[in-house]
Amino acid sequence: MFTPKYPPHDTAPTPTVPRPQTITPAPAQTHVPVQVASVAPVSNRSTIQLTPGSTLALVAGGGAAVLVVGTVLVSMLLAVAVTGVSVALVAIVLRLLVKDLHKER
């Protein structure tokens, strides 16, 4: 599920990398042919180019996500606070009722 999906090998673009050139020595020399340093291979990954419009959309989407998450967290905190207050009021009323029952004896 979390593993990246790669395209099949036959559809991936092939990078054009120049082949290293061999230098042939003069006939009088007995050195081994020397290879010229090759160019680093081109990456197959595509680069992401952000335009001003897409950057603005990305920032707006992130801001909306922060607002939604903040609203949910604040509403959960409010629900916990209301529940706590109601439990405290029930405890006070029960305590008064028990106190009244003890006074009548």
Percent of the chain predicted with pLDDT > 90:
46
Residue 34 parent element (H or E): strand 34-35
The stretch 21-37 carries a mean pLDDT of 64
Of residues 33 and 57, more confidence is placed in 57
Q: What's the whole-model pTM score? A: 0.44
**Who contacts 55 (Cβ-Cβ below 8 Å, separation ≥6)?**
none
Q: Among 15-19, 20-24, 36-40, 60-64, where is mean pLDDT lowest?
A: 36-40
Contact status, residue 18 vs residue 37, Cβ threshold 8 Å: no
Contact status, residue 22 vs residue 33, Cβ threshold 8 Å: yes
Q: How far apart are CA 62 and CA 59, in angstroms?
A: 5
